[in-house]
Amino acid sequence: MSDDQIIGALRTALKGYNLGDIKYLLQGNKSIAGFILCSCLIDHVACFRYNKESSGKIYQSFIDDYLSGYGYDSKRIYIDLRCKLVHNYTVGRSSYDLTSGTQLHLKKWNIGSVVLDLNVFVDHLEKALDKYLGELESDSIVKENAINRYRKVGILQYQPIT
């Protein structure tokens, strides 16, 4: 594949499949599954952005670099969503109370925790993804990282089976 075809495949997978699946879950009010896929999307994009294997460091770097200004604590998101929710299907005692469809996003709720509303979180992730995809066109290092990562691990693509 050419570099332009690789970038096209990344756009299709990240916006169409990854974000598309998350938005589909929003319609069905499947908030836990939505948060799990949001965490997977962060992990996935971070690996392409920094051309590294998945780690807490690049996961948190992506949040710090692309979701700054929204008030997220990258370490807490990493621990609560990626480590606890994705790997254990629970958040246990968490910094976040997960919900969907409220006006309480990042407001204090229980002692020591704040509300994380899926609808708002997805909106912020989409803006972060758009920023990253824009950088694929304008930043040669970001583009090179993505192409090298693609050549190493590939990405989901639609292929009809006949």
Phi, psi of 54 (to 5 degrees): -55, 135
Note whether residue 67 is domain-resident: yes
133 has pLDDT over 90: yes
Note whether residue 49 is domain-resident: yes
The residue assigned the tokens 């962060």 is 42
Note whether residue 62 is domain-resident: yes
The SS3 call for residue 97 is strand
Quote the pTM value: 0.92
Q: What is the pLDDT of residues 24-33, one digit of tens each?
A: 998 878 889 9
Q: What is the pLDDT of residues 61-107, one digit of tens each?
A: 999 999 999 999 999 999 999 999 999 888 877 788 888 988 889 88
Query: Tokens representing 78?
Result: 């990493």
Residue 117, beta-bridge partner list: 99
Note whether residue 162 is domain-resident: no
Note whether residue 131 is domain-resident: yes
Of 52, 26, 42, give the one whose Cα is nearest residue 83. 42
Split into its structural domains, the chain has a count of: 1
DSSP 108: B
The SS3 call for residue 101 is coil
Which structural domain range is residue 143 located in? 3-153
Residue 45: band (very low, low, confident or very high) from pLDDT cuts 50, 70, 90: very high
Q: What count of other Cβ atoms lies within 10 Å of the Cβ of residue 158?
A: 9
Note whether residue 129 is domain-resident: yes
CA distance linking residue 56 with residue 47, whole number of Å: 11
